[in-house]
Structure 1
Amino acid sequence: MLLHSTLDTPAGSFTVVVTKTGAVRAAGFTTDVAELLKLVHPVLLEPARPGDPGDVGPAVRAYLEGDLTAIDAIEVEQHTAGAFMSHAWRVMRGIKPGAPVTYTGFAELSGRPAAVRAAAAACARNPVALFTPCHRVLRTDGSLGGYRWGLHVKEWLLQHESAA
């Protein structure tokens, strides 16, 4: 059984879907749990009900209050059939707050400099926003690019991280 909880943030409602042990399987700036569950890989999908997200809630609140590394220790469970995507998500977790990279830079960090489109796909298919910080990846020209939860959210997150 998965648990879901929604937190109010300055960027909007943020919902997490976690395991009973507190690993995040889906997260995003929405209240639509069904939408989030669609992001969970079928091998990790279980029924979900409202519940306490454990350490996740306090970590997100600490992040919002300026401790930008508070979310780094939160475990995530992401799954994909592709080895590159799984690797890219692990690499993405290492992108530091206040130090965004371009899709080209992210492809290089992931060990496949020519795989810029694959790097962008890893961002687009990321089911655990914030914890796997796809918002820290920008277009090659430095512009925001896309973000599943809206460019206003991506912009707020990047400003929050650069201000701290």
Structure 2
Amino acid sequence: MTMPTAPALGWTTVATADGPFTVLYDDADTVHAAGWTESAEYLAGLIAPALRGGQLSRRPAGPVADAVTAYYDGDFAAPSGVAVRQIAGPFIAAAWSALRLVPAGYPVTYGQLAERAGRPAAVRGAAQCCVRNAAALFVPCHRVTRASGGLGGFRYGLDLKRNLLAREEPPPDLED
């Protein structure tokens, strides 16, 4: 039995208020990896081996880059409209799906993410979902915090996580 070949991946880097943001995606504009780096090779290393393609090629900006730009222009839901391809076991995959439904401005705890993924006791599994997420922003793991109110971890640093959460914070209620 032969394994299907992984698609060739293109990449583009978008300048953002938080620094360069690079996205690896296939010909169908499905994101395989993304993050705050200029290194496509670094991101390729985060992709599950079965999904890694051959040589990476720089591509002009398109719909995937447009979603990143829209996010930074205040449309925080724009990345959720882009398809993402990652593989993992059933719980991690369910947690990634649940995470894509967490609205900007309303972070959840690892326990709440575990519950939304169908296994309330799998708090450590919810944390692993974030650790194994190669598609930052498109699978918004920055929206998961500790039950104590602490930020938890983030591959790109806690200062960036804090900035993203502050950017997404809903405006204060003006009715008093």
Q: Structure 1-normalised TM-score?
A: 0.95
1:125 to 132, 135, 153: 132
In structure 2, the partner of 1:13 is 20
Q: Please list every run of 5 or more consecutive structure 1 residues that lacks an aligned counterpart in the other structure.
A: none
In structure 2, the partner of 1:64 is 72
In structure 2, the partner of 1:32 is 39
Q: With CA pairs under 8 Å and 6+ residues apart, which has the higher RCO, 1 or 2? A: 1
Q: Please state how far the C-alpha of 1:163 moved relative to its aligned partner.
A: 4.8
Q: Please state how far the C-alpha of 1:44 moved relative to its aligned partner.
A: 1.1
Q: Quick one: which amino acid aligns to residue 75 of structure 1?
A: A
Q: Structure 2-normalised TM-score?
A: 0.89
1:100 to 104, 107, 110: 107
Structure 2 matches for 1:148-163, cutoff 5 A?
Answer: 148-163=155-170
The answer to whether residue 77 in structure 2 is matched with residue 78 in structure 1 is: no
Q: Based on CA coordinates, which of the two structures has the bigger radius of gyration?
A: 2
Say what the alpha-carbon RMSD is for the aligned residues: 1.1
Measured against aligned partners, the alpha-carbon deviations of 1:103-149 in whole angstroms (never above 9, x if no partner) come to 11111111111110000000111010000000000011111111001
Distance 2:17 2:102 in 1: 22
Q: Please state how far the C-alpha of 1:64 moved relative to its aligned partner.
A: 0.5
Distance 1:7 1:54 in 2: 11
Distance 1:84 1:106 in 2: 11
The answer to whether residue 140 in structure 2 is matched with residue 139 in structure 1 is: no
Q: Quick one: which amino acid aligns to residue 84 of structure 1?
A: F
The answer to whether residue 42 in structure 2 is matched with residue 50 in structure 1 is: no
Measured against aligned partners, the alpha-carbon deviations of 1:30-82 in whole angstroms (never above 9, x if no partner) come to 112111001111111112111125201111111101111111210111112x1
Q: Secondary structure at the match of 2:164?
A: helix
Could you list the structure 1 runs, at least 4 aligned residues long, displaced by more than 4 angstroms after superposition. Answer: none
Aligned length in residues: 163
Distance 2:62 2:43 in 1: 19
Contact 1:3–1:52 under 8 Å retained in 2: no
Distance 1:9 1:149 in 2: 14
Q: Secondary structure at the match of 1:71?
A: helix
Q: Please list every run of 5 or more consecutive structure 2 residues that lacks an aligned counterpart in the other structure.
A: 1-7, 172-176
The percentage of aligned residue pairs carrying the same residue is 44
Distance 1:42 1:108 in 2: 29
